[in-house]
Amino acid sequence: MSDENKKSKKKRYLKVIRVVAVAAIITFAVVALLTHYIFPVVQIYGSTMSPTLFDGDVAVALKTTSLERGDICIFQIGDTMLCKRVIGIGGDEINIDKSGTVYVNGKLLDEPYLNGKSLGNSTVTFPLVVPENEYFVIGDNRRISVDSRNTTIGCVSGNQVIGKLLLRILPLPAIIK
């Protein structure tokens, strides 16, 4: 092989390396921007959302402040991010009896995701009307969850909401219900 052919191959090789490096940098930047501004990736700590989510699960959220009943949301209290299920939205009347049965606007809430009811460590008085632009949130593991039933958390304002969970990616992919 002549020197000219070797130089030509080396130039093509270096050009391919540059193109791959630029593509990798652009891909990394796009993924970083998407995960920061649109689809944050979060890790679940604790067992307050079991049996739906478990300690160590990793999930993808959608940044939004518009939530509906049944959504699982991520919100911030001080320096801590929490994960709970939206039970009530602004204007809803929430009532929870001593056995832990939840009523929203006078109707029994169907909660197939629970494996047991509990009033938990409730320090609020029921019935409670959720203020406008706020959410009443409860963990699926009602016995141990500290949530809107406790004045420490209370109703969560839209300003505290980071987003709603869309998809668990670890340990196995699953759509969040």
Q: Each residue of 29-49: pLDDT tens digit? A: 887 777 677 788 899 999 999
10 and 95 part of one domain: no
Percent pLDDT > 90 in the chain is 63
Nearest to 87 by CA among 63, 65, 105, 60: 105
CB atoms within 10 A of CB 100: 18
Give the percent of the chain with pLDDT over 70: 94
Are residues 29 and 49 both part of a single domain? no
β-bridge pairing 156-157 and 41-43: unpaired
Stronger pLDDT, 175 or 163, i.e. the higher one: 163
CB 74 within 8 A of CB 163: yes
Residues 168 and 96 in one domain: yes
Question: Are both 33 and 48 inside the same structural domain?
Answer: no
- Whole-number mean pLDDT of the chain? 90
Domain housing 69: 42-175
Predicted local confidence at residue 27, as pLDDT: 87
Residue 88, domain CATH: 2.10.109.10
Q: Is 0.85 surpassed by the pTM of this model? A: no
pLDDT > 70? residue 26: yes
pLDDT at 172: 67
- Which amino acid appears at position 79 of this protein? D
Same domain, residue pair 28 and 76: no
In this structure, the answer to whether residues 101 and 138 fall within a common structural domain is yes
pLDDT, tens digit (0-9, with 9 covering 90-100), for 134-155: 999 999 999 999 999 999 999 9
With 0-12 / 13-18 / 19 or more C-beta atoms within 10 angstroms meaning exposed / middle / buried, residue 29 is exposed
For residue 76, list its beta bridge partners.
Answer: 81
By residue count, the chain amounts to 177
Do 53 and 33 lie in a common domain? no
Does 30 lie in the same domain as 46? no
Residue 1, pLDDT score: 63
What does the pLDDT average to over 46-53?
Answer: 93
Are residues 22 and 96 located together in one domain of the fold? no
Count structural domains, the chain. Answer: 2
Residues 9 and 89 in one domain: no
pLDDT on residue 173: 60
